[in-house]
Amino acid sequence: MKIGIVGGGGRMGQMLIRQVARTDGATLAGVTDRDGAPALGQDAGLLAGLGPLGVPVTADPVALFAAADAVIDFTSPAATPLHAKLAAEHQTALIVGTTGLDEAAEEALAVAALSTPILQAPNMSLGVVLLSALVERVARSLDIDWDIEIVEMHHRHKVDAPSGTALALGQAAARGRNVDLADQSVRSRDGFTGPRTPGTIGFATLRGGDVIGDHTVTFAGQGERIELSHKAQSRDIFAAGAVRAALWCSGRSPGRYTMTDVLGLDQ
């Protein structure tokens, strides 16, 4: 499968280059970066710390989508609408790991999914996908006497909060309880807040150092607690999951997909 990477000059982009290069059944179709980026013109393999791959980094996403069977995007929300449009035009599968998407970006993905497979996940880690499934199951099994709190911590440079993964875990808990997360979530607490409202789903955000990503969902009952946690120790897990998702998209019909589909957890 010919896999393209946008944003190849970044840390995640370089990890994706390495992951594609070492994955059986995958070949690097092309790599792009933004106009003026230092990576432009470099061999993608050398950029990623490998030997030469004969694939230069360019600023031409149109050519990339035309050449690839699937493109992996971990760039920025502002770039998502263009990538979705190009994916639809060339019927190229698009794997989106970008978080913090606005309504326009989500709509662009929905439109593109009418023409090509769109796989979107706030976290490509297989462990996080399984954690989300467990959270939904536990939430379904317990009543609102069990309070749900989600704590996440990331490195000091992360710009969005709560993390996309924390929000996805909140959505899983809300599905388990058959409620709307928007109506039940508590994003912050400060000052005299009064007692906790039964049935709400709380979020706490920590930022510091070089933490890749820690997430814990706590179900707190009377006299006991259940804690479900995932700690990312290497960003390679996200690259591995994204490439696995790209391979899974081969031959799929147009539509919206998630990592849950990749692992067959809905079957």
Catalytic residue among 154, 155, 215, 231: 154
- Are 101 and 80 spatial neighbours (Cβ–Cβ below 8 Å)? yes
Q: On the CB side of 151, how many CA atoms lie within 13 Å of its CA?
A: 8
Residues 6 or more apart whose Cβ sits within 8 Å of residue 211: 153, 154, 155
Q: Active-site residue 155, yes or no?
A: no
Q: Active-site residue 154, yes or no?
A: yes
Residues 6 or more apart whose Cβ sits within 8 Å of residue 96: 73, 80, 83, 109, 118, 119, 120, 121
Residue closest to 258 by CA, chosen among 142, 168, 166, 150: 168
Residue 43 DSSP code: B
Residue closest to 5 by CA, chosen among 78, 81, 56: 56
Catalytic residues: 154, 158
